[in-house]
Structure 1
């Protein structure tokens, strides 16, 4: 080996050694940066490819400080994730709580509305019942008033009728216990002309009464009429009572309706004991006694 070849060998080795030291330092720095980036990104292993370093040799492990940094980054990231999950859970819980409160408020509003509606219906029903009761009471009062008015009217009519009857002349039948044997206007051999009165057949001695109040204007024997009494009444009408067995009054006497004027007999033209009763309007106009008595409230 020549001296020329020996001279340059040492410098090349030294240069090569310096180049190796520089390359190792750069790899270490690059690995540190990569570890930090990996920690920030949440990676679990850090390596450096041969393309980045220009060598096919695998990257060495992390230093203790870099491992601590990586662990701290991971812990911080986990804590951040846990806090984010907690915040999401709290947000969801708050949302559910708000929804539940809103639903409760809506339900309470519906219940309040239903209660209000029920109360209004109850009030309306009570008002309707009160109105119906009031109407029924008014109708009952009106019916009672109408009934009372009808009763009062009937009483007033009865009183008026009684007063009218009291003012009107009292009329009675001329005798009792009788049967009618001859009517007004009948013809026959027993009479010279058609019958002029109404015959009441009754036992001998049965009382004969004045049918109306009046004055006795005759009490004497009158031929075919036998013993006869005539009474003039307030309106000028005269009633006649014939065939009596006796007199109970005299001319000029005042009699009331129902007072005795004589008794049933057989005097005059008669075939048996009876009263021959006549009604003479104005004292001389003979009329049928039956309707005359009926018009005055008695039915022979």
Structure 2
């Protein structure tokens, strides 16, 4: 049961109960805090409108969202905050456009560089192909010129050979620098029978030549005739060369008029260096060589 001293407390007004002054002080503190926040919002909006920075705009946006349901912003502060938001959005759009333009320019520059490199490679390949084609054409032209020159040289050599053969004498004397020491049918103690040819005396080693073109049918040592060569000519006539010191042909060789068949010597039955020359029509008995040589245009 309450005492007499407790009763007055129950009859006291609520505002005067213990702890009431603290609640009144708390409400006053809340009002002061709200007033300060409102002033802070207004100051932030003004700063955002004046500076136009993204950081201030973000702070104003955050604070404004808290104050949007209140009546703490004046119309000028709200307009400044809206202007700051619009300017911030425009700045963001312009920055994004600049980035897009920068990327586009970079891509275009890279594409242009790649196109230039590709064009340079194509031009280099075209130049190389052209050079190869020119080199191949030059090589073909040089080969054709070489072949034509070889053909001309061959034709010239053939013509020269024909001309030489045509200009070559048809008949020559059997040696040079000579003097006759014995004639046909001449008698003497050196022969068992009368002499069968002409003796052309000349220094040792003087060349002995075939009087006409023909084929060598003998090249051998023939007893008293010594080293002897016989040549058969186109009309069947055989000419004989004896007493030579050497052979310069072999059986089966083809010789021209003036070709060397041996050299003046003293082999066989002889008293001095000379060549014993005989003419044997059809390879038979010898005839006088002097009229035969004259018939062919020579005067021994």
- TM-score clears 0.5: no
Q: Which has the larger radius of gyration?
A: 1
